[in-house]
Amino acid sequence: MNKSYDVLIRNAQVYDGEGGQPTNVDVAVESDRIARIGSLDGCTAKLEVEASGLVLSPGFIDVHTHDDFAALLHPDMGFKSRGGVTTCIVGNCGFGAAPFSEAINNLGTLVPSAGIVPYEGHAGYAAAVESSAPGVNIGVLAGHGTIRKAAVGSVDRDLTDRELSEMKEYLLEALDAGVFGISSGLSYDPGRYARTDELVELVSVMRGTGALYATHMRDEATGLAESVAEAIEIGARGGVGVQISHHKARGRESWGLVNESLKLIEAAQLRGEDVHADQYPYTAGSTSLKTVLENGAFAQGNGAGAMRNVPPADVVIASAPGHSDWEGRSFAELSAEFNQAPITVAQIIVGQAPGTTVILHMMSEEDVQRVLRHPSTMIGSDGIPTLEGKPHPRLYNSFARVLGHYARDLGLFDLSTAIYRMCGFPARKFGLRDRGVVKEGAFADLVLFDAGTVIDMGTFENPNQYPVGIRQVFVNGRVAVLDGEVLPLRHGRVLRRSV
Ligand SMILES: [Zn+2]
């Protein structure tokens, strides 16, 4: 049957996104879906792409982002699509997009928020994203911290039934608007004040809906195992799936503890529980300086908080609004310059530039690789979209780094496994219907890349660089990125949970 399609991609090595071995076939796209896969010699298309020597895979799904406001402020989302990402899950670490004023006060401490026009609830947020016409698809998580702040403010105590009911109302509105679950940020204010029972009670609202519980845990350092156990308990008692965010062991004294946390995940899976994790492929993390201070990073001795005694040389300023001269400098350097203790310097900086973000060099490469190899792990950048300054290079480069550095160069796993971790696996976990796979009838979110050259380019010194080797990106059947250039027309959608 000789037919004409909208797009015909010929002779690529096609990966199905579900872990299957590649096949050399043609892929035809009609409107926003993959219409046919096979040998399509006699067929034609409005756009024909000769892709010999290139890999065609489903577009990458970034399950861990903080792009809630970036989708409104920078709707082309080129900082993601140029790295092959076609879908972002926003609303992680307890930082949700609604209610609006709490989102501005809460997520706004981590990412830029100036210029966001108010909206009403998660339905209003979804409508705002739709009218901004983002360049990639956006799936949303509600944020426990944002909802708690709206219901009770920053209080450190058990909640009354009435307060809990109010939180449930906010979550129900989010679920009606199609969110894929709720995230928590239990080392942040106010998420850290939530007791386990509160979280169980809240997530129980989602039982049977397919929505999941994603969590930035209380303690990713010496308390890692207890924190993973808490996350698993919340999922089991609440009757929902669990997604452990940015799985890692932070701080030298905690290195190696991922052996225990991975065993806890395996044990939960053996009991039939739906527990997985995501990870960014670096030994450094990034967060707001305010959070670092609140978690006692610079406190001497047995300081309060989960970070404890982080060497000042390992904490580097990523972005400091209005103070670009501080960017790229460590607290060891700044402490010498200010002639003050690191904790005092941090307090001064938070006072002068509250939105300051930092990079923390705190994981072991061995742990990063152990978590990455483990079959429970999918990829999530956790990028903080402060496009000025020196953001952590994971923002642009996470997926190319897994493909090029960890899969091809270090051989942690084969290419089909790497692609599965970025595509079919997260699509199934989050319930993104007809995405993350190359098969007839699925949405045509696609990426063409050169498996021999794809690699991350951003460094901590010079992070604002895009990966190389990503040739062409399609979002809902249309070209979004061509040879490193973001095209002006944007084709992303708001994705909504369907039961
Ligand atoms: Zn987090």
User: Percentage of the chain with pLDDT > 90?
Assistant: 90
Residues near ion ligand 1 (CB < 5 Å) are: 93, 216
Q: How far is the CA of 440 from the centre of ligand 1 (A)?
A: 36
Q: How far is the CA of 383 from the centre of ligand 1 (A)?
A: 10
Non-local CB neighbours of 77 within 8 Å, separated by 6+ positions: 67, 70, 71, 88, 134, 135, 136, 490, 492
Q: How far is the CA of 217 from the centre of ligand 1 (A)?
A: 8
User: Percentage of the chain with pLDDT > 70?
Assistant: 98
Note the pLDDT tens digit of each residue in 38-87.
999 999 999 999 999 999 999 999 999 999 999 999 999 999 999 999 99
Angle at 352 between CA 346 and CA 357, to 5 degrees: 55
* Helix/strand/coil for 410: coil
Q: What is the pLDDT of residue 388?
A: 79
Note the pLDDT tens digit of each residue in 361-394.
999 999 999 999 999 999 999 999 988 788 899 9
Asked if residue 330 lies in contact with residue 341, where contact means CB atoms within 8 angstroms, the answer is no
Q: How far is the CA of 19 from the centre of ligand 1 (A)?
A: 28
Q: How far is the CA of 227 from the centre of ligand 1 (A)?
A: 13
The better pLDDT of the pair 7, 388 is held by 7
pLDDT at 308 over 80: no
Q: What is the pLDDT of residue 303?
A: 46
pLDDT at 305 over 80: no
Classify the C-alpha dihedral 244-367-317-60 as positive or negative.
negative
The pair of three-digit structure tokens given for residue 199, joined into one six-digit string:
């979280």
Asked if residue 9 lies in contact with residue 448, where contact means CB atoms within 8 angstroms, the answer is yes
Indicate the average pLDDT of the chain: 95
**Whole-number Å distance between alpha carbons of 491 and 335:** 47
* Helix/strand/coil for 419: helix
* Region 260-289 average pLDDT: 97
Question: Which of 239, 220, 234 has the alpha carbon at shortest distance from 306?
Answer: 220
Task: Assign 310 a pLDDT band (cuts: 50, 70, 90).
Answer: confident
The pair of three-digit structure tokens given for residue 40, joined into one six-digit string:
């399509």
Q: What is the pLDDT of residue 124?
A: 98
Q: Which amino acid is at 169?
A: E
Q: How far is the CA of 482 from the centre of ligand 1 (A)?
A: 32
Q: How far is the CA of 246 from the centre of ligand 1 (A)?
A: 7
Task: Assign 499 a pLDDT band (cuts: 50, 70, 90).
Answer: low
pLDDT at 304 over 60: no
Q: What is the pLDDT of residue 296?
A: 81
Note the pLDDT tens digit of each residue in 450-489.
999 999 998 988 888 999 999 999 999 999 999 989 999 9
Which letter, b or e, does each residue of 213-249 get, where b requires 16 or more Cβ atoms within 10 Å of its Cβ? Answer: bbbbbbbbbebbbebbbbbbebbbebebbbbbbbbbb
Q: CB atoms < 10 A from the CB of 361, how many?
A: 16
Model-wide pTM > 0.85? yes
